[in-house]
Structure 1
């Protein structure tokens, strides 16, 4: 018989609220909360260890067998508790506590001899990170590198905005200098999206081992990327402004690279 929690004062309920709201709690405990049927299925597909499933029987209508094979604990909660701990109200009455992965660069091994990578330097907005991860998933990139990360990867807003693609991508975190050293050691050409001293993006050959580097909309890329890149690239602008959303720009660049690789394969 599953354990049932109905009190908002239950210690697990308090922990779940902390995990949803505090990056420090997620880092200290090494776990985070996943909400929703699709997201939990993608976490399992991405080989994330699910410690606990939390169900609200009044809302949840799926087959529990789809989730419970590798889970050691299932807890039922009341609708009142669910609405207290759920970050979103549209997550089908199911949450999970999952174990975080160490995504530091020292743990990453490049498997493809001709990789296509995306590097985002210091992205802050969870919505932009989520959109970048969705684009990377759509393009089936070899990895997404986040240089000088400013935001906790398991922030519920990143999980939500990525629609679970935070679990389907290979994600690597490190400092800008560490990632540049990695690219140079592995002979990967890297192209910095910047307005300074740039080439038009579609004139570059991306059929070789390549990484596309994007910065924030506010400040762009740091100087080290612009000076050490193989080449700087830009998307010509024909309107009144000289910038676009970082995830839109990354999508244009990534799919040009994909087009070239498909055409020349």
Structure 2
């Protein structure tokens, strides 16, 4: 049975470690750990087979949480902290009194597996804003996509802003990462057609058939997709715009395209 370490000072080495992991992607890469906050996120991470390293909790803030279950798991370190210390660690304004250090996954493309013979996946090229990445992951979860692939990632997937904005969907999706070239080769190997959101050489998104193995590909809001994607695409697609601007938030665009594919598939 695990023992509980009681921490009273914000100067404790574990508290300093948590703060460093929250703020520094370099530290997350070096240690292979990231900070997870909240009951729902913790539950989703465990459901997604993430391994907990350390659990920190504040009895003054925590209610209806099975601490005893964690005491019975000897591989997890447990630390009890007072409210004053916990509030220095908490990322969210409305905190629930529990957070954890969790072991990150690798997200190699060769780990992606499809149970569906005609998978529907989302690809985002070089997404940078954590809020957009989180929103894309929420959309992917809502649509029960077979995978999300991130090409040329610019932001650490375990950035606290991504975890928060995804409301834990970073743990519910099958996620792979690689270069544009690697992901295109992966799609070709699995005979998955690429439908790339673009302003040029495009068909209206509702005029295409997404019933076969399909990848919906979106780029950044500022520059869109790089030429490599547009050249390799099975078909470039566009959402007709009737206002003064010619683009939408990338997560909104992705949702429209994904749910059109879902509609065609009858689910």
Counterpart of 2:95 in structure 1 is 91
Partners of 1:254 and 1:159 in 2: CA distance: 22
Structure 1: 5+ residue stretches without partners: none
Counterpart of 2:109 in structure 1 is 105
Partners of 1:66 and 1:191 in 2: CA distance: 49
Residues 63-78 of structure 1 aligned to structure 2 (within 5 Å):
63-65=65-67, 68=70, 70=73, 72-78=76-82
Partners of 1:178 and 1:237 in 2: CA distance: 32
Residues 1-265 of structure 1 aligned to structure 2 (within 5 Å):
2-65=4-67, 68=70, 70=73, 72-262=76-266
Specify the SS of the correspondent of 2:55. Answer: strand
Aligned-pair CA distance for 1:84: 1.2
Does the 8 Å CA contact 1:192/1:213 hold for their aligned counterparts? Answer: yes
Partners of 1:117 and 1:108 in 2: CA distance: 11
Partners of 1:121 and 1:149 in 2: CA distance: 7
- Cα distance change of structure 1 residues 67 and 128 upon mapping to structure 2, 3 Å threshold: farther
Aligned-pair CA distance for 1:112: 2.2
Does the 8 Å CA contact 1:50/1:97 hold for their aligned counterparts? Answer: yes
| Cα deviation code 1:85-106 (max 9, x no counterpart) | 1112323010011100010213
Does the 8 Å CA contact 1:123/1:129 hold for their aligned counterparts? Answer: yes
Aligned-pair CA distance for 1:186: 1.1
Structure 2: 5+ residue stretches without partners: none
Aligned-pair CA distance for 1:66: 8.0
Partners of 2:81 and 2:224 in 1: CA distance: 45
Aligned pairs, number? 263
Does the 8 Å CA contact 2:112/2:147 hold for their aligned counterparts? Answer: no
Aligned-pair CA distance for 1:144: 0.2
- The normalised TM-score by structure 1 is 0.96
- The ranges of structure 1 where at least 4 consecutive aligned residues each deviate by more than 3 angstroms after the TM superposition are none
Specify the SS of the correspondent of 1:44. Answer: helix
Q: CA RMSD in A?
A: 1.3
